[in-house]
Amino acid sequence: MAKDYFELLGLKRIEDYDPGAEWADRNAGSPLPILVGSDGAGTPVEIDLSRFRGIDDHYLVVGAATRLPELMKTIACGLTIRRSPEDLMVLPVEASRGGTTFVDVVSHHNGGIVQPGPDPGRTAVRLAQVMAGQIEQRRAALQASGAANISEYQQRVNPRDAGEPGWFPELFILIEDVTWLAGTSFDPIWRVLREEGHTLAIRLIVGVPYSTWQRLGPEHFAGITPRFALGLTASQAATVLQVEIPDDMPAPGAAYVVTDAGEVMQFEVVSVDEPYRRR
């Protein structure tokens, strides 16, 4: 029987998870290993999303539209488990109005969940305004302090100020399906974050249906590294990841990841829904 999410983390049950112990010795420079699934032998598969230890600042998850929510939710859960809300925040962006992909897993690490409204274009404008404000606040803090990046800035701020105005945790924007944002007022923000995300500690993890990836073209996603492919044929995955892929991915949960070492690994996405339902 396949292990569930918390068993792959080495826990017998969700109640055994101690956030205080997990967060105690971690900071912005620590590894950020995110569990995404298991390989054919049942061994946990993780990817380090630390912007100092990993090889990229922003990541693409490309696949069949119906397969994206599960992996995006698993990544979101991993982020909240590994870091405290003072060190890491998540801005989840749902694919549709009334979406519930992120509801169960990010409550303490976010100030709200973005969903497209009746007029998605207006929602995109508002999201762009919010992010523009966040970008300017972080730029101003760096300029005033003379720090080169947010991590250096935090080292100059009294640790007791963590969580207070003027303290900027690393921010992950998790976009379940970018289709509704493409070609909107969010595009300029997209470009700024690709260029300044590392300095400002604002990261993008973007879900893209393969049909949208084809329509927009790889150049639209320049600066955002495709790391995951799921629910695709071997040919489609090879085109996205720019590496040779041996097999199709017809089974639910079947995916490929390009590891930090540049290796291609096949794995099965682990769902966080089952252990949460058993709470």
Q: Does a structural domain hold residue 25?
A: no
Token couple for 70 = 């599960």
277: pLDDT strictly greater than 50: no
What percent of the chain shows pLDDT beyond 90?
A: 51
Q: Write the CB contacts of 187 (distance below 8 Å, at least 6 apart in sequence).
A: none
The string of DSSP letters for 165-193 reads TT---EEEEEES-GGGGTTSTTHHHHHHH
In this predicted model, which residue has the larger pLDDT, 269 or 262?
A: 269
Phi, psi at 73, each rounded to 5°: -70, -40
Q: Does a structural domain hold residue 273?
A: yes
Upper half-sphere CA count for residue 126 (Cβ side, 13 Å): 11
Q: Does a structural domain hold residue 22?
A: no
pLDDT tens, 137-190? 999 999 998 999 998 898 887 655 655 567 899 999 999 999 999 999 999 999
pLDDT at 165: 61
Q: How large is the average pLDDT for residues 108-117? A: 85
Domain CATH number, residue 198: 3.40.50.300
What single letter denotes the amino acid at residue 21? A
Domain total of the chain: 1
Q: What gap in Å lies between CA 269 and CA 35, rounded to an integer?
A: 9
Tell me how far apart the 2 most distant CA atoms of the chain are, in Å. Answer: 55
pTM of the model: 0.92
Question: What does the mean pLDDT of the chain come to?
Answer: 87
Least confidently predicted of 122-126, 206-210, 239-243: 239-243
Upper half-sphere CA count for residue 245 (Cβ side, 13 Å): 26
Q: Which residue has the tokens 């956030």?
A: 19
pLDDT at 10: 85
Give Cα 251 to chain centroid, integer Å.
23
Q: What gap in Å lies between CA 187 and CA 53, rounded to an integer?
A: 28
pLDDT at 161: 62
Q: Does a structural domain hold residue 254?
A: yes
Q: Does a structural domain hold residue 26?
A: no
Q: What gap in Å lies between CA 235 and CA 38, rounded to an integer?
A: 23
Burial class (CB in 10 A: 0-12, 13-18, 19+), 62: buried
Domain span at residue 168?
5-16+31-277
Q: Does a structural domain hold residue 23?
A: no
pLDDT at 279: 46
Upper half-sphere CA count for residue 15 (Cβ side, 13 Å): 2
Give the three-class secondary structure for 211. helix
Q: Please give the DSSP secondary-structure letter assigned to residue 259.
A: -
Least confidently predicted of 37-46, 98-107, 250-259: 98-107
Closest CA to 246 of 231, 264, 227, 228: 264
Q: Does a structural domain hold residue 239?
A: yes
What single letter denotes the amino acid at residue 108? H
Phi, psi at 114, each rounded to 5°: -90, 130
Q: Convert 11-70 into a string of H (helix), E (strand) and C (coil).
A: CCCHHHCCHHHHHCCCCCCCCCEEEEEECCCCCEEEEECCCCCCCCCCEEEEECHHHHHH
